Homo-oligomer: A and B are copies of this chain.
């Protein structure tokens, strides 16, 4: 069984890469900037694909996530993609900083094509998640929530409207792009998301994100160890 993590930022993946001691496969995706780390965890092949950098910072957002996911699936053919990273969430839903959620759905909240047309539906996306997501969350005691994705860190009224109309709980910047590619290539996808900021707390988002990033990423590492142990158990019982 081969599992492929698709992760935007080095900060999000580093604690996890170090925990498993997996090694970089240099220039695997060259000339694309994406990076591959690969190793074995028991019978399981563990890949971690990072977007890489452009213009002096880790590539974030939906175009980079599309590129990384497409390249990862085409080159590695994983049995399961896991999009793991940080997100915003809502006090109103009981979310707390560094809490880890499993996604039970995924869509875009900033692709608006108004009017009565098929592009409106396509633009929202609503892609399938791995059918084992619910059982995993139940067994490991994680909360679940709907991931909604946009290309911006801030929250505009038009974004909040779409999030609220669609029951969005976990606001990120890559999830739906990863899900879009997985939907086209029929690769199952699991979302593991850790909260860096509370969208309805009144705090300034970039400040809150920066302050809580390392704590949220540490929680993400601990959660992902449990996810991997669970998936290893699935293999041995099959």
Contacts and interface: CB of A to CB of B under 8 A. Distances in A.
Contacts of A153: 112-114, 119
Contacts of A19: none
Interface residues of A, number: 48
A206 B117 contact: yes
A70 interface: yes
Copies in the complex: 2
A104 interface: no
A165 interface: no
A27 interface: no
Contact of A110 (B56, B110, B119): B110
22 contacts: A32-B184, A54-B184, A61-B123, A62-B151, A63-B180, A63-B181, A64-B180, A66-B67, A67-B181, A70-B70, A108-B151, A110-B151, A111-B151, A111-B152, A112-B151, A112-B154, A114-B154, A114-B205, A115-B206, A115-B207, A123-B151, A151-B151
Given A55-B121, A66-B66, 17 more contacts: A31-B186, A32-B184, A57-B118, A57-B119, A57-B121, A60-B113, A60-B123, A62-B62, A63-B177, A66-B70, A70-B71, A110-B151, A115-B204, A115-B207, A117-B206, A123-B152, A156-B158
